Structure 1
Amino acid sequence: METRIEHVEQFTVKGYEMHGPVTHIPKLWDELNRVIQEKGASPEESFGITLGMDNGNFHYLAGIRSDFAEGFSDTKEFLIPSGKFIVAKVEGGVEDIPAVFNALLRNPDVKFRHSYGFERYIHPVGTEGYEIEVWVAIE
């Protein structure tokens, strides 16, 4: 698995959150995508942020950069802090996201910092499909 290091300036993700089993996450994405279409927004990336896990239940946010989400209602905002991240592309689709996170977290060559990891879905306007990356905060 190839990785790269990225430094980002802080940015805000705005979207929909849930507390529940992983099986509820696709419904959250369906809602986000419905509202994106309804509002005519045109983000070229979206984010899935696991804010916590407890006994098989996830606290998860599916969203887009806040400047593309004006007029969205009943949303939550979450700040991605500035800093470095180790990044890897997910080759096998959504079902391979946990394996990529686990591989990054076992990397002995980096020191992790306290922050949230996230999925980044890259979907340029005018293209079909999307690419998935996993981002984990490092020192």
Structure 2
Amino acid sequence: MQTRIVEVEAFKVKGYGLKGPLSEIPGKWDVLNAEIDKQGIVAEESFGLCLAMKAEEIHYIAGIKSHLAEGFPVTEEVVVPAGKFLVAKVEGGVPAIPNAFNTLMKTDGIQLRRCFSFERYIHPKGTSGYEIEVWLPIE
């Protein structure tokens, strides 16, 4: 798995939150994508933020950058803190995300920092597909 280190400025993500079982995550993406379509928004990237996880229960937000989601009803907003992230492209689609995170966490020479990890979905305007990256916070 090829990795890179990316340092970002803080940015805000707004979307639809879940505090519950992992199995409910796809439903939040359905709500987000329906609202994006309804409002005619062009978002070239979206984010799946894992804010906390305990056993099979997750606090997760499926969202887009906040300035694009101004008119969305009943959303959660979170700041992705500035800092470094170890980033890798996910091969194998959504089912491969957990394995990609596990592989990143085993990378020699990294020190995790206190922050949440996330998925970044890249879907440039004019394309029908998307790429997935996993982002792990590091010192």
Matched residues in 2 for 1:124 and 1:56: separation?
32
Matched residues in 2 for 1:86 and 1:37: separation?
31
Alignment TM-score, normalising by the size of structure 1: 0.98
- Structure 2, unaligned stretches of length 5 or more? none
More deviation, 55-64/92-101: 55-64
Matched residues in 2 for 1:118 and 1:69: separation?
18
Q: Secondary structure of the equivalent of 1:23?
A: helix
Give how far 1:125 is off.
Answer: 1.0
Give the structure 2 partner of residue 55 of structure 1: 55
Matched residues in 1 for 2:69 and 2:2: separation?
32
Matched residues in 2 for 1:38 and 1:120: separation?
22
Matched residues in 2 for 1:67 and 1:44: separation?
13
Matched residues in 2 for 1:70 and 1:21: separation?
27
CA-based RMSD of the aligned residues comes to: 0.7
Give the structure 1 partner of residue 12 of structure 2: 12
Matched residues in 1 for 2:100 and 2:54: separation?
20
Aligned residues between the structures: 139
The question of 1:69 aligning with 2:102 is answered: no
- Structure 1, unaligned stretches of length 5 or more? none
> Structure 1, residues 69-117: CA drift from partner, whole Å, max 9, x if none?
1111100101000011000000100000000000111112211111000
Amino acid aligned to 1:20 = G
The question of 1:44 aligning with 2:44 is answered: yes
Amino acid aligned to 2:80 = I
Give how far 1:55 is off.
Answer: 2.8
Percent identity over paired residues: 55
**Pairing of 1:83-102 with structure 2 (within 5 A):** 83-102=83-102
